[in-house]
Structures are given as structure tokens and as C-alpha cells.
A and B are shown apart, each in its own frame.
Chain A
């Protein structure tokens, strides 16, 4: 046996469970995303949304004459959850997703840690998967933060009870909470398309700020396109066209058609941009 074979055997011997720790990178990735101060501040801001809305409604009283979910908060604190989620969807949530997704690969590239990860070796495909999983978990964490904060603030500041649905029927508080939970899930899934776009843009550059700006720019452009009536022919294909469909969960029975079409569209965006990010990261020269 040559000396180098002996070394090889020794190396194998100290790693009896080689090849079994695929998950460690995913866990490490979550630690990276959620351990950062900016993530925690972002979640803190999201948690403050129900608080701000709740206090505003409490101070002005229920005679604001506002329609929709906000108008119902004073009568039933549960609607604070739904209203907060709905109000965060157009701006706060996309901003948070933009920041985290823009940072994901570009941040590693700018720090130089991408080199160390790849020589570890993380494997380019697996690293990308870990980034995407962490992003999805962040989307869920973001909406859950609002759900929990809305629940707490709503129950403290307002009376709660049976829930009057959009279709006119009334369901129990427990059923209403479950529906609000469903809304949080649907909204977090609605963010995945944008997360995919952010991940792809982040794979193109070594400047996180540029990735964030480009992702947010894309989001704004999609919003503008959605707002131009003359473009109605392409509207069904735009990322945020059916974002408001979550409210259909408050019908009896829930109206799934629009929700499903929204989620399919998100899945389509995610598939396209994730594939593009994969093609990019697996062929890119890492400097």
C-alpha cells in the first residue's frame, strides 16, 4: 500500500457517515437568514403593522366609515389579522422578500464566502436549493409574524367572536382563525414568484444592493403593467394580478378558482426563474 492510499483510508475512517449530511447546509442557511439583524428588524416592522392599524382604529373609533376588512376590525379583532396581511401585501412583504432574495447569492459573492462554500464543497445546485428553501421559509415567517401579531393585538384591543364572512354567513371564531391562517399561507405562497425573480437576479451580480434594486424595480414595473387597463390581454400572466385572491378564503364555501390560478402562476414564475438561476450559478465563474 502506498502512503497516499493509507491517507485515503484514514480519511474515510474518520468520516464514517460520509454523504449523509445533506440537510446541514439547509439548516445553516436558515441560521444565516434569520440570524441577521436586518431580517429580525424586517420581521419586527411586519409585526408592527397590526399594532399600528389596531391603535389607529382604537383611537378613531369604529365610526370611520371605512369599508372592507378595516371597517370590521372594531367589531371583531380577528379582522385585524386579515386587514394587516392585506395591507402588507402590496408593499411591506414584497420589500422584505426583495431584500432577502437580492442578498442571497449576491451577498455571498460580495463577501467572497461563495468561494469557500463551493470549495467546501457545497455543490452549486444544492447551495441554490438551500437558498431557495430559506427564502420560502422567510416568506412563511413573514406572513406568520403578521398573523401572530395581528392575533395578539386584535384580541387585546377589540372584542372577538363569530366571524361574518363576505358571503354573508357566519362561522365560529375558530373557523375564522383557521381561514386567516389559510390567508397567511396563501399570501406567503404568493410571494414565491417574486422570491424566484430575486434569486435569479441575485445570481447575476456580486453587488447585493444592485440585486435588491433590480428586483424591486421588476416588482414595480409589474405593478404598473397590472394597473394599465389597455394591457388587459397580458394581465392574467402578470405576477401580482391575482394577489388579492386570498380574500376568497373568506367566502362560504371558500372560492378556490382564483386562488389556485394565482398559485399556479406563482409556481410558473418560480420554475422559470429558479431554472434560470440554476443555469447561471452552475456555469458562472466564481471570482
Chain B
């Protein structure tokens, strides 16, 4: 069976020649929670807009749930829940009225169950109490949750979420991440863009890294991380002696900062280093191996910090 999201050579060049998305080949496995990662301005939202048929690619193809987009959008999109670039609503209507409006736009949605489904969706995102309040009075976090509720009005096979936790407080963020995991548990494939590495680490099974319109990598999160070797970190006041001892044992890429010495330990078991340091009268305040974070993986991939956006 085919992957829920496939793109081949997807490219978008805007008027004026700026290439926002450059020959991107995505393949999102069924049932995955796929983190679409990149700094602001890296082409994530433009890619998502092309996936959903909102903008036309300059070249390349998109396949959603096995069908070509945007050609088959009327057939495909009812099976896809989408949240594109921030929550957009009629501010002069209640949250419930907004849900009903978007559901009415989908001709496959049953009008008889519309109200009930809206109620369930609001409940699921914790907005039942604000259902009849005008969206004008909603906080950004509430709007974000309402936008997710729109995607939850129907049973979906695929959710495409653009920065779903943007603007949420820590509690709301946790709830949304929990919701995503729950949906994925039901078999829904989730494609979620984010500029938060922590989000990918906590929620995603797969990740793709975008930078300046190019797809740098896509793989499982575990693979992405395991490519980086763990680092040995020693906290000590005796920096010089510690560095000398470690170097003598073949530790490479040694770095010394204010009170730590760190480096690539190679293949030796870590307890050997501890013994050697103690033997060399190095006072140890802290000692351990640090698993590299996705942030390190990202920096290794892009050669730049994560907040760089151009």
C-alpha cells in the first residue's frame, strides 16, 4: 500500500524567482507521526499548502492517500483533517458556529450529525464551555484548539497540522501533544510541522528536516539521533589534568569549558574513564555520557543554529 503523503520533486518558485520549496521528496509512512521540522521560513508552510492543493506547485507531484493532488482534492480532502498556518475563523461567530460552517463546506459531511460531531470535537479539545462564546473573545490558545477541533469533526485517515502547538500555554501544549499521540494510536497518520525540536522528540516517530526550501533528511527519529555519537562529559575543577588524562586514553574532539571537559569517548566502556580520572587525582563533580539531542542532530545536518531563518 502507498504512503499517505508522497511528494516527488516538489518545487515552488514564487513570482520574483525566490524558490521557497526546492525539489522536495517526502514519503510519510502510514500510521506514523511525522515531524516536519525546520526554522521559520524554511518552506514548511508552503509545502503544506501544496500538499492540500491551496497553491499550485511550480513543478513536481503530490500524492495524498494514494491519489494525485490537487486533481483529486474533492475525493481526498474529506479524509484529511487540516490546520494550515494558524487558526482562522469568523470572529463574529461562536466557536460552534464556526465548526458548523466548515463542516457544511464538506459535501460528504452528514448534516444530521453535524451538531453532535461539533459537540464531540469541542469536548475533545476542551472547549465545551466556550462553545457559544464568540471567537473574537477567544485567546490564541483557544483558537488553536478550535482549529484542531475543525480537523476532528470527521474521522480522518490523515491529519496535516501546521504548527499545532503554536501559541498554546504549557498545559495546552501538553494536551495537544497527548491528543496527537492518541489520534496516532487510533491509526491516524499525523503530519505535523513544527519549529520546536522538543516537540519532535516527544511526539514523533519520524522526522524530516527542512532548511532553506530543501529537504535535508527524513528518517525515523531514532535513526536521526543514533547517527550522533554520545559524548563523555566530566565536570571538574581540575580541567587541565582531566583533559590530559582523557586525551591519553584516546578521547577525541576534546572541548574544555568553564568547569567541564567533554569529548568523543570512542569505543572504551565509560567506567574505565572514571577509574583513570580518579587515579590521576582529578576531582570529579559530575560524570556521564550525554545522548545527543535532536538539536545537535539538526545543527550537524544544517551546520547552523536552529533559530537561523532566512
Asked if A3 and B187 make an inter-chain contact with CB atoms under 8 angstroms apart, the answer reads yes
Q: Looking across the interface, which residue of chain A has its beta carbon closest to that of B93?
A: A35
| A52 close to B (CB within 8 Å) | no
Asked if B157 and A25 make an inter-chain contact with CB atoms under 8 angstroms apart, the answer reads no
Q: Kindly state the interface size class of chain A when it binds its partner.
A: 35 or more
> What is the distance, in angstroms, from A255's C-beta to the closest C-beta of chain B?
44
**Other-chain contact of A119, B82, B89, B104, B107 (Cβ < 8 Å):** B82
**What total of chain B residues lie within 8 Å of the partner, measured CB to CB?**
45
| A64 close to B (CB within 8 Å) | no
Asked if B106 and A7 make an inter-chain contact with CB atoms under 8 angstroms apart, the answer reads no
- Which residues from A are CB-within-8-Å of B30? 3-4
Bound complex: CA of A122 vs CA of B107, how far in Å? 7
Asked if A28 and B54 make an inter-chain contact with CB atoms under 8 angstroms apart, the answer reads no
Bound complex: CA of A2 vs CA of B30, how far in Å? 11
Residues of A177-233 contacting chain B, CB below 8 A: none
| B261 close to A (CB within 8 Å) | no
Asked if B88 and A119 make an inter-chain contact with CB atoms under 8 angstroms apart, the answer reads no
B-contact bits for A1-24, CB 8 A (1 contact / 0 none): 011111110110011111111101
Asked if B90 and A11 make an inter-chain contact with CB atoms under 8 angstroms apart, the answer reads no
- Which residues from A are CB-within-8-Å of B107? 19-22, 24-25, 123, 126
A15, A16, A19, A283 interface centre (most CB from chain B within 10 Å): A15
- Which residues from B are CB-within-8-Å of A120? 77-78, 102-103, 105-106
| B252 close to A (CB within 8 Å) | no
Asked if A14 and B54 make an inter-chain contact with CB atoms under 8 angstroms apart, the answer reads no
Asked if B101 and A28 make an inter-chain contact with CB atoms under 8 angstroms apart, the answer reads yes
Asked if A15 and B55 make an inter-chain contact with CB atoms under 8 angstroms apart, the answer reads no
| 8 residue pairs from A and B, CB less than 8 Å apart | A4-B1, A25-B105, A113-B88, A116-B150, A119-B82, A122-B106, A285-B55, A287-B49
Closest A-B pairs by Cβ, 6 of them:
A112-B88, A120-B105, A122-B105, A121-B77, A285-B55, A28-B104
6 new A-B contacts, CB < 8 A, other than A3-B31, A32-B90, A123-B73, are A4-B30, A15-B108, A32-B101, A118-B54, A120-B103, A285-B56
Q: Chain B: residues with CB nearer than 8 A to chain A?
A: 1, 4, 30-31, 49, 52-56, 73-74, 77-80, 82, 84-86, 88-93, 100-111, 150, 154-157, 187-188
